[in-house]
């Protein structure tokens, strides 16, 4: 038998479920309150009725009344209407914002619409649950944070791993020195799709291609650019780097208590097929924080793009914190450590505890009621997606970049700073929604 310390440093994983002390604590934490009267139930509108939007609405309907559905694809709208037949139908999200019966907007659109829809909602006095990745650019995040602070609306970002017990436990242990001084954090994200070339096709009846594209460059309709696979095009998203990075890089930042790195470098590790998906499907990015901690973020072939296991023996997507005294690996449904004792021992009463939420949508509606900040507010969503965007920019420029996390600019680097924003295609503008 190896000595425990040796075993710890050889990295033999000790698979673990959540420790009893932590589960007991979670049981004692009050959950979100269910509505008690009609006056207590906000009117909810869903903008973007695809798979995730409908999933979010199903969860939100526990806390309010579904009053409106909005999509630029009549087929998706009809599918949602089957589940919520009493709700009104809208084609243009600006009409949703004019409705007096809507208190809360759920934004389940494609990534390039998140900021404009959320800005419009907050300016119209609505609270917003916006899917991750919160923004398409770093500049958009600044606009959302500013608008949220000005309008005092509640904005929850859909990075729901913050409301997952495994991830909170990992971050609390890391923050309280259970692993000693943290040296590095490794993040593995599912590999993206590398397919193509794709052909233009006639725009399907009942689909508003121009409104779907909105602020992004106008191009011929290509089916693979739209539903679900939009995330593999730089025009609309950042590939799995932003899709999954908005979950796992968010946890890396939460555990480290960081808002941004001071250095980033990265590269795609495969060439994409001309005429096919553009966002890097395989990549390796490295961030360095001011305290010297290194954060590596790589794609892994062991998972498919939805996170399903392709190779059970390969490196699964997730986050691994490594410190002087051991490591913790955390992913959906699993937390393990170099030594089980690292998880088993309760945190002392004097420990720093993180925001506890065990129900992401419930936390949002609780905050709609109490006007307290939600667990994943605009600032959190902005900072987490910005780290992903920094990785994308480093990959696209192919060189090391210096970042000022306080000034939110690349240091003395005009070329890199150009990538912080994208000009919306006219007539769209951030001020006009
Ligand atoms: N939190 C999570 O775990 C999670 C999981 C999956 C997806 N997501 C996020 O949810 C979002 C949607 O993903 P999806 O897989 O459901 O995509 P999808 O393509 O199935 O759905 C997007 C919907 O938005 C609609 N849409 C586009 N522009 C619109 C506009 N201007 N107004 C109204 N509707 C518009 C589309 O027609 C489509 O119905 C993405 O941002 C994605 O990153 C989050």
Q: What is the pLDDT of residues 154-204, one digit of tens each?
A: 999 999 999 999 999 999 999 999 999 999 999 999 999 999 999 999 999
Please tell me if the CB atom of residue 110 comes closer than 6 angstroms to any atom of ligand 1: yes
CB 175 within 8 A of CB 167: no
Task: Give the pLDDT of residue 16.
Answer: 56
Measure CA 369 to chain center: 24
Closest atom of ligand 1 relative to the 92 alpha carbon: 32
Whether 277 and 194 have beta carbons less than 8 Å apart is answered as: yes
- N-term to C-term CA, the chain: 65
What tokens does 35 get?
């509505």
Q: Which two tokens stand for residue 44?
A: 């909810």
pLDDT of residue 277: 98
Question: How far apart are the CA of 51 and the centre of ligand 1, in A?
Answer: 7
- 212 pocket-lining for ligand 1 (C-beta < 6 Å): yes
Please indicate whether residue 191, judged by its CB atom, sits closer than 6 Å to ligand 1: no
Q: Give pLDDT, residue 17.
A: 82
The rounded distance, in Å, linking the Cα atoms of 412 and 191 is 33
- H or E element, residue 401: strand 401-404
Q: What percent of the chain has pLDDT over 90?
A: 93
User: How far apart are the C-alpha atoms of 431 and 426, rounded to whole Å?
Assistant: 12
Ligand 1 atom 35: residue of nearest CA = 48
94 class by beta-carbon count within 10 Å (0-12 exposed, 13-18 middle, 19+ buried) = middle
Q: Which pLDDT value is given to residue 51?
A: 98
pLDDT at 222: 98
70 CB within 6 A, ligand 1: yes
| H-helix or E-strand spanning residue 88 | strand 88-90
- pLDDT reported for residue 38: 67
Q: Which residue has the tokens 């062991």?
A: 302
Q: How far is the CA of 8 from the centre of ligand 1 (A)?
A: 42
- Distance, CA 174 to ligand 1 centroid (Å)? 33
Relative to the CA of 160, which ligand 1 atom is closest? 1
Tell how far the Cα of 409 is from the centroid of ligand 1, in angstroms.
29
Name the DSSP letter for residue 73: B
Q: How far is the CA of 294 from the centre of ligand 1 (A)?
A: 32
Strands (E), 224-351: 263-268, 283-288, 294-300, 318-323, 326-331, 334-337
- The tally of CA atoms less than 13 A away on the side-chain side of residue 63 is 25
Pocket probe mutation, ligand 1, options 96, 116, 131, max atoms within 8 Å of Cβ:
131
266 lines ligand 1 (CB under 6 A): no
Spatial separation of the C-alpha atoms in residues 384 and 247, rounded to whole Å = 8
Substitution site in 110, 212, 331 for ligand 1 pocket (most atoms within 8 Å of beta carbon) = 110
Dihedral angle, C-alpha 54, 59, 65, 67, nearest 10 ° = -10
pLDDT per residue, tens digit, the chain (433 aa), is 333 343 333 334 444 589 999 999 999 998 888 877 766 799 999 999 999 999 999 999 999 999 999 999 999 999 999 999 999 999 999 999 999 999 999 999 999 999 999 999 999 999 999 999 999 999 999 999 999 999 999 999 999 999 999 999 999 999 999 999 999 999 999 999 999 999 999 999 999 999 999 999 999 999 999 999 999 999 999 999 999 999 999 999 999 999 999 999 999 999 999 999 999 999 999 999 999 999 999 999 999 999 999 999 999 999 999 999 999 999 999 999 999 999 999 999 999 999 999 999 999 999 999 999 999 999 999 999 999 999 999 999 999 999 999 999 999 999 999 999 999 999 999 998 9
- pLDDT recorded at residue 140: 98
Q: What is the dihedral angle through the alpha carbons of 171, 53, 197, 247, rounded to the nearest 10 degrees?
A: 0
120 lines ligand 1 (CB under 6 A): no
Question: Do the Cβ atoms of 343 and 17 come closer than 8 Å?
Answer: no
Question: How much distance in Å is there from the Cα of 398 to the middle of ligand 1?
Answer: 30
How far is the C-alpha of 39 from the C-alpha of 56, rounded, in Å?
Answer: 22
Residue 283 half-sphere exposure, CB side, CA atoms within 13 Å? 33
Tokens representing residue 201 in the block: 């096709």
pTM of the model: 0.96
């Amino acid at each position: 038998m190896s000595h425990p310390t040796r075993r710890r440093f050889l990295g033999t994983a000790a698979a673990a479920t959540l420790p009893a002390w932590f589960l007991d604590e979670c049981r004692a934490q009050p959950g979100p309150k269910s509505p008690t009267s009609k006056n207590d139930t906000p009117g909810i509108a869903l903008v973007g009725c695809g798979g995730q939007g409908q999933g979010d609405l199903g969860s939100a309907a526990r806390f309010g009344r579904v009053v409106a559905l909005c999509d630029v694809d009549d087929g998706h709208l009809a599918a949602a209407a089957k589940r919520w037949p009493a709700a009104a139908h809208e084609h243009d999200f600006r009409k949703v914002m004019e409705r007096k019966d809507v208190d809360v907007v759920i934004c389940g659109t494609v990534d390039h619409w998140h900021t404009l829809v959320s800005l419009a909602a907050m300016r119209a006095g609505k609270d917003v649950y916006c899917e991750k990745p919160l923004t398409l650019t770093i500049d958009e995040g600044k606009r959302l944070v500013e608008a949220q602070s000005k309008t005092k609306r509640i904005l929850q970002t859909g990075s729901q791993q913050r409301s997952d017990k495994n991830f909170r436990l990992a971050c609390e242990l890391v923050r309280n020195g259970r692993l000693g001084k943290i040296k590095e954090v490794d993040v593995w994200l599912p590999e993206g799709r590398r397919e193509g070339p794709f052909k233009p096709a006639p725009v399907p009846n009942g689909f508003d291609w121009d409104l779907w594209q909105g602020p992004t460059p106008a191009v011929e309709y290509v089916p693979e650019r739209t539903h679900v696979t939009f995330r593999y095009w730089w025009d609309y998203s950042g590939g799995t780097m932003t899709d999954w990075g908005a979950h796992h890089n968010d946890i890396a930042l939460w555990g480290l208590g960081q808002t941004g790195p001071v250095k980033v470098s990265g590269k795609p590790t495969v060439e994409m097929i001309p005429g096919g998906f553009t966002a890097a499907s395989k990549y390796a990015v490295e961030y360095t924080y001011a305290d010297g901690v290194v954060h590596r973020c790589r794609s892994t072939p062991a998972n498919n793009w939805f996170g399903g296991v392709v190779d059970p023996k390969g490196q699964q997507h997730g986050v691994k914190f490594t410190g002087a005294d051991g490591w913790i690996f955390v992913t959906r449904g699993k937390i393990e450590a170099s030594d089980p004792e690292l998880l088993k021992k309760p945190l002392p009463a004097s420990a720093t505890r993180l925001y506890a939420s065990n129900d992401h949508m419930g936390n949002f509606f609780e905050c709609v009621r109490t006007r307290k900040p939600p667990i994943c507010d605009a600032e959190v969503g902005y900072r987490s997606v910005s780290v992903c965007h920094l990785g994308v920019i480093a990959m696209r420029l192919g060189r090391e970049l210096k970042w000022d996390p306080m000034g939110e600019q690349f240091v003395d680097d005009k070329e890199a700073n150009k990538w912080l924003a994208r000009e919306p295609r006219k007539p769209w503008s951030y001020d006009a929604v």
